[in-house]
């Protein structure tokens, strides 16, 4: 007798807790929802695997992360701001992953782990980021439609981006503020749309806090969003940071473009 959907999800959580990839593989032909959140922890299966990787520091969780993405786990899915999802790296370090996607969760963990001075964890997190980038690019690229665009269209959108007098949203970065058009952001990102339409601070002030990101990375994100290109020669760190924003805000087109930039440069494993 087939297991009910609720029972299947219980098997998923148990397999992730134990790092049992073989048990997960047995569910590949079932109707498991690979993006369903845990009823109490609030994590998705992919974020749960990332948490277990950070806690256990076992290579088998890298294989699970890659397998989950290929099964349909969405690395851009963002947990609600009220999610209970968190991960404890040490007795003194507990990180909330509320409001994070799988990709930005890795970024948050990498920033925190530096204080713990655990080289093995840094290496595993970098590998996880590389696997997620490669697997998600392969998945998105297979569904991606490309068309040729005349240079005049790109030039037009460059002029629109540079028309700062008409900008009505400001990103408060680690450096100087970077501005953009709310109309473009609302259409591009469901996450930014929710923020700008909310009664919270972002909706009222039209200012979005990204204090953990450089102004050059935010500018790169916007150039890629508006024109699918950049006149800058961005550093690898800026590409990674802009990619993190694209994942965090679920702008899949920018995710694919910036991921391809990283692949051309030799992949994120070198950064």
Kindly list the averaged pLDDT for each block of 10 residues, start to end, along the chain of length 271: 70 95 91 90 94 91 92 85 85 85 83 65 83 67 68 93 96 96 95 88 86 94 93 84 88 86 56 37
With vertex at residue 194, the alpha carbon angle to CA 190 and CA 199, rounded to the nearest 5 degrees, is 175
CATH code, 134: 1.25.40.20
Q: Looking at the structure, do residues 136 and 251 belong to the same domain, yes or no?
A: no
Q: Looking at the structure, do residues 108 and 182 belong to the same domain, yes or no?
A: no
Q: Looking at the structure, do residues 116 and 203 belong to the same domain, yes or no?
A: no
Q: Is 53 inside a domain boundary?
A: yes
The total domain count for the chain is: 2
> Of 141, 165, 196, which residue constitutes the final position of a domain?
141
Q: Looking at the structure, do residues 174 and 131 belong to the same domain, yes or no?
A: no
Q: Which of 247, 217, 9, 209 has the alpha carbon at shortest distance from 107?
A: 247
The pLDDT score that the predictor gives to residue 137 is: 63
Runs of H (alpha helix) within 85-142:
102-113, 119-141
Longest CA pairwise span in the chain (Å): 65
Q: Which residues constitute the domain of residue 206?
A: 151-270
Q: Looking at the structure, do residues 122 and 158 belong to the same domain, yes or no?
A: no
The pLDDT score that the predictor gives to residue 18 is: 94
The pLDDT score that the predictor gives to residue 139 is: 59
170: part of which helix (H) or strand (E)? Answer: strand 169-173
Q: Looking at the structure, do residues 173 and 81 belong to the same domain, yes or no?
A: no
Distance CA 175, CA 152 (A): 32
User: Backbone phi, then psi, for 210, in 5-degree steps?
Assistant: -135, 55
> Of 141, 176, 205, which residue constitutes the final position of a domain?
141
Helix, strand or coil, per DSSP, at residue 6 = helix
Q: Looking at the structure, do residues 137 and 158 belong to the same domain, yes or no?
A: no
Q: Looking at the structure, do residues 168 and 253 belong to the same domain, yes or no?
A: yes
> Of 141, 159, 192, which residue constitutes the final position of a domain?
141
Bridge partners, residue 207, by sequence: 170
């Amino acid at each position: 007798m087939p297991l009910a959907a609720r029972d299947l999800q219980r098997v998923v959580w148990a397999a992730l807790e134990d790092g049992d990839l073989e048990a997960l593989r047995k569910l590949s032909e079932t109707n498991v929802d690979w993006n369903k959140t845990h009823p109490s922890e609030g994590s998705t299966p992919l974020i749960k695997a990332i948490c277990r990787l950070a806690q256990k520091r076992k290579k088998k969780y890298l294989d699970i992360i890659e397998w989950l993405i290929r099964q349909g786990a969405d690395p851009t899915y963002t947990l609600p701001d009220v999610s209970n999802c968190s991960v404890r790296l040490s007795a003194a370090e507990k990180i909330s992953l509320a409001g994070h996607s799988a990709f930005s969760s890795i970024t948050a963990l990498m920033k925190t782990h530096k204080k713990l001075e655990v080289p093995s964890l840094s290496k595993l997190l970098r590998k996880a980021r590389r696997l997620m980038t490669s697997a998600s690019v392969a998945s998105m690229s297979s569904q991606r439609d490309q068309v040729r665009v005349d240079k005049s269209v790109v030039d037009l959108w460059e002029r629109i981006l540079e028309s700062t007098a008409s900008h009505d949203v400001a990103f408060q970065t680690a450096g100087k503020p970077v501005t953009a058009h709310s109309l473009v952001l609302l259409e591009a990102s469901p996450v930014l749309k929710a923020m700008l339409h909310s009664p919270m601070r972002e909706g009222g002030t039209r200012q979005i806090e990204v204090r953990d990101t450089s102004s050059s990375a935010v500018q790169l994100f916007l150039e890629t969003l508006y024109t699918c290109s950049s006149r800058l020669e961005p550093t690898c760190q800026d590409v990674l940071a802009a990619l993190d924003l694209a994942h965090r805000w679920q702008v899949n087109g920018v995710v694919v473009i910036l991921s391809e930039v990283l692949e051309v440069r030799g992949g994120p494993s070198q950064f």
